């Protein structure tokens, strides 16, 4: 053990095993974006009739954010996944813009809008990290994913015995 009590008898620090994500719903970023889309839906229910257009726009963009991640996760090539992450980023920025506008015109309380914007900014930071990671993998391994996506069967996901990195 090292002086902090971490590691094995030789003092080597033990690293936790990297968890393999087999379903997009296991990803913290997806979970966050899905919860945010649900919150947007709830917070915009009371929009006045003359702001129905704004509600429709923010619902579309917030729903597209997590949907693009889901679509890309099950794509055949890493480059397709990367493109879905770029779309996710654009849709998240659009949602942030609509949320700020809703705050500024007084249809969403400032505290609520600011909290939503902060959470979307956190998700955008996670997206940037994921984009960088995928770009590095493409540069070193090429555009193919290390596992096939199952096209048929009762559920979508990784073929038995394969891992998606």
Give me the pLDDT at residue 91, please. 96
**Tens-digit pLDDT profile for residues 87-126:** 999 999 999 999 999 999 999 999 999 999 999 999 999 9
CATH of the domain at 75: 1.20.1440.60
In a domain, 70, yes or no: yes
Give residue 35's domain range: 24-140
What pLDDT is stored for residue 156 in this prediction? 45
- What is the spatial distance between Cα 162 and Cα 165, in angstroms, rounded to a whole number? 10
Number of folded domains in the chain?
1
Average pLDDT over residues 47-69: 95
Closest alpha carbon to 130 in 162, 87, 99: 87
* CA–centroid distance for 91 within its chain: 11
Q: Does some domain include residue 105?
A: yes
């Amino acid at each position: 053990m090292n002086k902090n009590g971490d590691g094995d008898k030789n003092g080597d620090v033990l690293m936790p095993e990297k968890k393999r994500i087999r379903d997009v719903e296991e990803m913290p970023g997806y979970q966050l974006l899905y919860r945010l889309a649900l919150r947007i839906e709830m917070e915009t229910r009371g929009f006045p009739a003359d702001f129905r257009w704004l509600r429709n726009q923010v619902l579309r963009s917030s729903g597209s954010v997590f949907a693009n991640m889901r679509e890309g996760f099950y794509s055949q090539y890493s480059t397709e996944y990367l493109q879905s992450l770029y779309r996710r980023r654009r849709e998240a920025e659009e949602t942030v813009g609509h949320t700020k506008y809703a705050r500024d015109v007084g249809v969403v309380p400032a505290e609520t809008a600011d909290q939503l914007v902060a959470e979307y900014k956190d998700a955008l930071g996670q997206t940037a990290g994921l984009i960088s990671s995928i770009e590095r993998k493409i540069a070193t391994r090429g555009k193919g994913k290390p596992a096939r996506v199952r096209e048929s069967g009762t559920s979508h996901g990784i073929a038995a015995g394969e891992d998606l990195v």
